[in-house]
Structure 1
Amino acid sequence: MRIGCIQFAPQVGDVPNNLNRADACLSRADPLELDNLDLLVLPEMAFSGYNFKSLDHIMPYLEPSGSGISALWARTTALKYDCIVAVGYPEKVDSSRQRRFSAPRYYNSLIMVNGDGETLVNYRKSFLYYTDATWASEGDGFFGANIDGLGQVAMGICMDINPCRFEAPWTKYEFGFHILEVKANLVILSMAWLTQEDSSTFTPFTQEPDMETISYWVQRLEPVVRKEQKEEIIVVFCNRCGIEDDVVYAGTSAVVGIKNGEVSVYGLLGRGVKELLIVNTDHPPFAKLVSREKAPEPEVEPLAPPSVVPVPPSIVSPTRVSPTKERLSRLPEADEPVDDSIATAISSSSSTSGSHMSHGTTAGSSPPMTQIASPWPVIGIASQSPHADGDYGTGSDIYGELPSNYGRFPQHGPSGTSDATTSSTATSVRPKLAISTGSVSPPAISTKGPPAFRDLCTPPMTAFDEAPMTAIDDIPMSGFPKRTDLARSRFQADPNHTHLPFSSRADK
């Protein structure tokens, strides 16, 4: 079944513009969605407005039973879209038509017409709110009957879902038990539901539904929810929005389905949205309403003193020497010769690959960056970097190719002068951030392209990386080199090389 609800903001006594506001909502809707519409519902007293103060106030806007401006609009719209239309309006019943009464009677009513313009139902509100109680009379009871094209229908207006006059017990659920009594598969509720919140705090969030309002509506249908029927019952809450004088309306029109004790949501509007809501109950609902009771706050316990986590024996030696101190003491100096076994490994690797790439430059075209082979992981040499899916790239990254001279700088001998001919097997440059346990083999030298940014920033995982932070608590801060010391090291022999590590100019 395709159901439509027009949620808009009519104003008291502004009938012509209220008609235009409803038509505007229809005109903004997708024409294809209106073609197969089965039911269109409008709010309570849709075109007259709701917040009248007295009978004298509403008297000019009362409409004859089934023949006023609201009934005319309903018939015209039903014929246009070939659907059933339900509109709320203030009804005036001529005493000549009711032999029981010697004076005219006034009702807060809901008229329903079919696609041929015929009146199907003229329901009168049974439980009055204090606003319409100033001018209207109570109806004869809730509506429940079979309607062609809709099935077994129960119908109510706004206050009908509340306890009678707010005097009946909350658990009486008059309208909820009425739905079960007539075995309705469709419930129509035309509403002008208010909110008690201040307009300054309620109206700014127009797109958000008022969840307290829809929760209250569902609570008033608790007998239907607890029945846990296998056949779904569709409930249409068509509310209005906006402000009339000092009254703020809650909006939040919705179409829900109740089945097996669950409440599914087929459509839901915000508290201040002015548009046509169209849902197809033959399609799956997009959400469910669930009850979330507030969990009790846990008792606050005093914080226990921090405990020292024991360091695994594989990281700390039997003499309890800090692993970081030990590795820093084993780092080679910049001009310290590399071990023979390591030099042999570099030579064999170079002879196997022929000419290799170093940061995008071939070894034969320009002086290569000094290659490092040591027990410590070297950052920024391996071009194959692990990605999130476990594959390995080929040197290109999402940031694109790196410049050909990226990361390459002239090597300096002991005297500080440039020496491009220094052999890579004779001198080792201390790698940046090279802290490791010494158990990780050197990364492979790429022959395919420049390194990815991940390789320049992320060292390979080591056993030390998995150690708890307490493993380095015994290292005083004085054990680490100062930035000023690093700036004066061989890494920064020439202050003009601002791209070098630990450059004071680069830091600025």
Structure 2
Amino acid sequence: MSTHEESGLKIACLQFSPLFGDVAGNLQRSIAMIEKAADAGARIVVLPELANTGYTFKSRAEAFELAEPVPDGRSTQAWAEVAACRNLIIVAGITEREDNCLYNSAVVLDPSGTLGTYRKLHLWGDENLYFERGNLGVPVFATPYGRIGVAICYDGWFPEVFRLAAVQGADLMCVPTNWVPIPGQQPDQPPMANILHMALAHSNSMVIACADRVGVERGQPFIGHSLIVGHTGWPVAGPASGSDEEILIGEVSLSAARRDRNWNSFNHPLRDRRTDFYAESLGVGLNPNLNKR
């Protein structure tokens, strides 16, 4: 067991405003923030969705021009270098190109290089014009600090993603995101995204680290409020500002997330699932009584 798990693991979410199309500049700014987070003791660092390119593409051709392969593209290579130098786990949103396909992805890096890639399963709005739906499922990555899953933005509205990671043993979900204002949101209410991820952390007994962006890009505002939620469902850091760039750092225990899934003598949120009525993989099983009146 890693000593970081027992004594407290510091996770950083980097909330900043990428400049659309300025990949070199966005990498430079993100790496400066990664360095500051590492100086503050962070061992896992999460960056926003599409952190290297910005978000509001006007055409697929524009997205294709800015996209990069993983792991050989310059963004992945630059982040991998700082992960190696500072002994970090980095989860960063990236515009990925594979042959003629584009994906809204997150690359997962450790000091040895690229652990793997997560491709966003649920596309939001105009993303459907540019990206393919993710085809890598819900991978979980083993690290010295614990098992890490990834979701991106709109995936947070689908509890299946988080449950599939949990049943594979994920202790932490890293969420690169570009949250936008939700219809019906009142100024005095917490963002719906924060409420959803608090509930997901509680119901799966896992830590969730959400790194959002801020600013307005080509007329699209982003809401910030990055958040790190403990396995009990309560925030351990944040929500961050709705407008300012900042480094949010929270201290968690991933071993406690795993150990405390026994809520009492009887209940455990994963073992209590009624897989006799629904399949282990969350699909609907055959129920002979379903159509009986």
Pick from 133, 142, 154: which aligns with 1:138? 133
Write the deviation string for residues 252-286 of structure 1: whole angstroms up to 9, x where unpaired. Answer: 11111123xxx2211111112212222221499xx
Partner of 1:279: 250
Pick from 220, 225, 234: which aligns with 2:202? 225
CA distance in structure 2 between the aligned counterparts of 1:10 and 1:185, rounded to whole angstroms: 29
Secondary structure in structure 1 of the residue aligned to 2:244: coil
Partner of 2:83: 78
Secondary structure in structure 2 of the residue aligned to 1:90: strand
Partner of 2:291: none
- Displacement, 1:226? 4.1
Pick from 160, 166, 170: which aligns with 1:174? 160
- Displacement, 1:60? 1.6
Quick check: 1:45–1:108 contact (8 Å CA) kept in 2? yes
- Displacement, 1:251? 0.9
Relative to structure 1, the CA distance from residue 84 to residue 30 in structure 2 (aligned partners, 3 Å threshold; closer, same or farther) is: closer
Quick check: 2:198–2:229 contact (8 Å CA) kept in 1? no
Relative to structure 1, the CA distance from residue 20 to residue 32 in structure 2 (aligned partners, 3 Å threshold; closer, same or farther) is: closer
Q: Percent identity?
A: 25
Where does structure 2 lack aligned partners over 5 or more consecutive residues?
A: 1-8, 257-293
Partner of 2:67: 62
Letter of the aligned partner of 2:11 in structure 1?
I
Secondary structure in structure 1 of the residue aligned to 2:56: coil
Quick check: 2:12–2:37 contact (8 Å CA) kept in 1? no
Pick from 11, 16, 19: which aligns with 2:24? 16
CA distance in structure 2 between the aligned counterparts of 1:33 and 1:225, rounded to whole angstroms: 27
Partner of 2:109: 113
Structure number with bigger Rg: 1
Where does structure 1 lack aligned partners over 5 or more consecutive residues?
A: 95-103, 164-172, 203-207, 285-508
Secondary structure in structure 2 of the residue aligned to 1:147: strand
Partner of 1:43: 48
CA distance in structure 1 between the aligned counterparts of 2:189 and 2:212, rounded to whole angstroms: 12
CA distance in structure 1 between the aligned counterparts of 2:209 and 2:30, rounded to whole angstroms: 18
Relative to structure 1, the CA distance from residue 60 to residue 209 in structure 2 (aligned partners, 3 Å threshold; closer, same or farther) is: farther
The 5 A counterparts of 1:193-272 are: 193-196=179-182, 210-219=190-199, 221=200, 225-226=202-203, 232-259=205-232, 263-268=233-238, 269-272=240-243
CA distance in structure 1 between the aligned counterparts of 2:203 and 2:26, rounded to whole angstroms: 39
Answer 1 or 2: which has greater strand percent.
2
Write the deviation string for residues 62-109 of structure 1: whole angstroms up to 9, x where unpaired. Answer: 102211122022112102211111111111112xxxxxxxxx211111
CA distance in structure 2 between the aligned counterparts of 1:32 and 1:14, rounded to whole angstroms: 26
TM-score of the two chains, using structure 1 as the length reference:
0.45
CA distance in structure 1 between the aligned counterparts of 2:38 and 2:103, rounded to whole angstroms: 35
- Displacement, 1:143? 2.1
What is the root-mean-square deviation of aligned Cα atoms in Å? Answer: 2.7
- Displacement, 1:41? 1.0
Write the deviation string for residues 325-360 of structure 1: whole angstroms up to 9, x where unpaired. Answer: xxxxxxxxxxxxxxxxxxxxxxxxxxxxxxxxxxxx
The count of residues paired between Structure 1 and Structure 2 equals 245
Quick check: 2:37–2:45 contact (8 Å CA) kept in 1? no
Pick from 150, 153, 167: which aligns with 2:148? 153
Letter of the aligned partner of 1:7 in structure 2?
Q
